[in-house]
Amino acid sequence: MMKNLREISVQYIKGVGPARKKTFERLGVFNAEDLLYLFPRRHEDRRSMTPLSDVKVGEWQTISGKILKHSGRKSWHTKKHVYEMQVGNEKSRIFCVWFNRPYLDRYFEVGQQVVLYGKVNIYKDRLQLVSPDYEVITDDEEDRSLSVGRIVPIYPLTRGISQRYIRKTIKRCLDKYVTFAKDVLPYELRRKYKLDNLIKSLWNIHFPENEKKQAVAYKRVSFEEFFLFQVSVLLRRLNIIQKKGFAHCVTDDFYKKFLNLFDFDLTKAQKKVIDEIKCDLSSKSPMHRLLQGDVGSGKTLVAFFVCLASVKNGHQAAFMAPTEILARQHSEVFKKVIEKSPFSKIRIEILINEIDKKEKEKIIKKVKQGEVDILIGTHALIQQAVEFKNLSVAIIDEQHKFGVRQRALLSAKGKSPDVLVMTATPIPRTLCLTLYGDLDVSTINEMPPGRGKIETTLFSHDDAASAYKVVEESVQSGQQAYIVYPIIDESEKLDLKSAEQMFKQFKAKEFKKFRLGLLHGQMKKHQAQDIMHKFKQGEIQILVATTVLEVGVDVPNATVMLVEHADRFGLSQLHQLRGRIGRGELNSECLLVAEPTTQEGQARLDALLSTTDGFKIAQEDLLIRGPGEFFGRHQHGLNELKIANPQAQLDILEQARAEAIDLTKQDPRLKKSANTVIKDTILRRYPNYLANILSG
């Protein structure tokens, strides 16, 4: 009898039960199918371990040995917990160190066999691994058969689940239930592209017999992920172009008046993008366009053009930004630009949560009555109470900060308005056309002239004083500086400096002769506004902050940014932060203080040191993190790209897209019985993405 794997709760898998069920749910695993699709984040080849005598310094390696000694202590300098362990034999040994993990004192025992994965370095003339991945290998036969002497899967974990346990559980699930897995790819498609069936592929993704079978399995599952996502994207596209939108009239006279608002010439890229958008605005079909461009390339100016075109045609425009700082900045800039111009009578309002209740109600009423032309705001724009009289344009800035549902809620405020989404996290055009198949794509690929260069330098924690010296010299010469931290206050769990802690230290020691300010996300809004105003006015010389700076801060006189614990930030986040400097004519310096303990952390810093080009940064970020994390799993329906990597598997992606195009042309609503499994799978995987389109 055929079983529905989604109806088999994970608690009924051997070895799980009610208590562990809740632990698995933290990994997004609720049933047997979820468990089969909990793919390894990487594999380790443990068929032949590197002997300790042959390990290579500077490389990431998997090693095995017995625990010879282990102990925990308090760091004399930071007072944080340091745990040290010696692994090996009488002839060769390697030292391992972890910070702030006191529980390891009770976890390891002398004589245990462990497998370690990390970057080998030299410290005080001895081999060392800092914070390596670790796994204790027991004498249990089932444990050893899955954990040594083979290509071993390494899974994402959560508290309460070990690698040994998750391997055994997945193996038991495969043994009992994998034959009931439904193959969503039609047989003809698998035969055409020489793809294995799903059952064989699932086995060889979790427990590959060899590299060749592993590669074949990855190709099979990647094709399926790409295919389902492409079908979803194409169905959204068909749904959009069938609607009737606003046909705006954009005259040459209007465009000329717009250009005269600025005392500088637009770049060729900006003019090209505006030409593309002018065609969209004049069409009866709604615009659905992605505008991508690096930090500071001038995307906001293009968005302003779209807003003015809407108002000039008697309609309203909505502009949604991810932060209140950015929303306020847009509002201030827009009002300043149209002051004393032919557009001076345009009514611009800002709607953010900080505004008091009475003022908010007043603005919402004016919007509904058509007395507001351009409404700029944050998530406050999509609250139910906000109604537009005649919304024809919806703009979403930094679109990766918003989910699919949030963007849909804004466009639902009008009757098929033109939608422009913008991002400073660009990706290659070929990938844009494929991954954003429901959007037309415009790219600003040049920066405005007259910008200073940015030089990026890496310092170790021991050499942080040298970085502070650069900040001091810059501020002494009349410029301003940012110093950024990953956390607000000191944490016992994280061995990291904090913004508040270092703000106090800097005021008392390193920068006591300068005027300092502190900015973080937990401050009251009026306090944060006051700090930013003082920094913009030059009253504050050094701003110590968290990532609240990432978006929307524009101070041309700030020419230095120091980021401590830089390896704790994402690559696009670091690039966004770096984009806060170099906004004037002066050259700028980005100072990174870090000692990465992971391969990914090192790769992020290497990428940032090698280029300031946002497109190259984005390509590297995609390779490092994989598509799900890069695009935001909750944002684009890409939560099912667990294995597929568009950057590395473009050929497979294009094959899958071609098949998806054929399918959606023949059956645009997947109503044919042969496509029932595909439809059901898509609705299950992308519930917020296509439910309305495929219903009925």
In the chain, the amino acid numbered 484 is: V
Q: Are residues 396 and 368 in the same domain?
A: yes
Is residue 636 included in any domain, yes or no?
no
CATH number (domain holding residue 88): 2.40.50.140
What pLDDT was estimated at residue 552?
56
Is residue 292 included in any domain, yes or no?
no
Residues 460-471 as b or e (16 or more Cβ within 10 Å = b): eeeebeebbebb
Cβ contacts of 494 within 8 Å, gap of 6 or more: 100, 487
What pLDDT was estimated at residue 140?
81
Is residue 176 included in any domain, yes or no?
yes
Cβ contacts of 638 within 8 Å, gap of 6 or more: 229, 435, 627, 628, 631, 632
Domain boundary among 611, 627, 653: 611
Does residue 691 surpass a pLDDT of 60? no
Looking at 378-392, 393-407, 437-451, which range is the least confident one?
393-407
Does residue 493 surpass a pLDDT of 60? no
Q: Are residues 384 and 327 in the same domain?
A: yes
Higher pLDDT, 546 or 282: 282
Q: Is 668 exposed, middle or buried (0-12, 13-18, 19+ CB in 10 A)?
A: middle
Is residue 391 included in any domain, yes or no?
yes
Is residue 404 included in any domain, yes or no?
yes
Q: Are residues 461 and 597 in the same domain?
A: yes
Is residue 412 included in any domain, yes or no?
yes
Is residue 239 included in any domain, yes or no?
no
Q: Are residues 36 and 65 in the same domain?
A: no
What pLDDT was estimated at residue 632?
45
Domain boundary among 127, 162, 181: 181
Q: Are residues 59 and 142 in the same domain?
A: yes
Q: What is the tally of structural domains in the chain?
A: 4
641: its two tokens: 């790209």
What pLDDT was estimated at residue 539?
93
588: its two tokens: 């700028």
Confidence of residue 279 (pLDDT cuts 50, 70, 90): very high
What pLDDT was estimated at residue 489?
54
Angle between helices 687-694 and 404-411 (to 10 degrees): 50
What pLDDT was estimated at residue 314?
94
Q: Are residues 390 and 482 in the same domain?
A: no
DSSP classification of residue 65: E
Question: Do 104 and 98 form a contact (C-beta atoms < 8 A)?
Answer: yes
Looking at 275-284, 406-415, 506-515, which range is the least confident one?
406-415
What pLDDT was estimated at residue 636?
43
Q: Are residues 591 and 461 in the same domain?
A: yes
Q: Are residues 261 and 409 in the same domain?
A: yes
Q: Are residues 24 and 68 in the same domain?
A: no
Is residue 219 included in any domain, yes or no?
no
Q: Are residues 588 and 554 in the same domain?
A: yes
Q: Are residues 495 and 580 in the same domain?
A: yes
For residue 63, what are the domain limits? 45-154
Does residue 638 surpass a pLDDT of 70? no
Domain boundary among 567, 591, 611: 611
Q: Are residues 79 and 24 in the same domain?
A: no
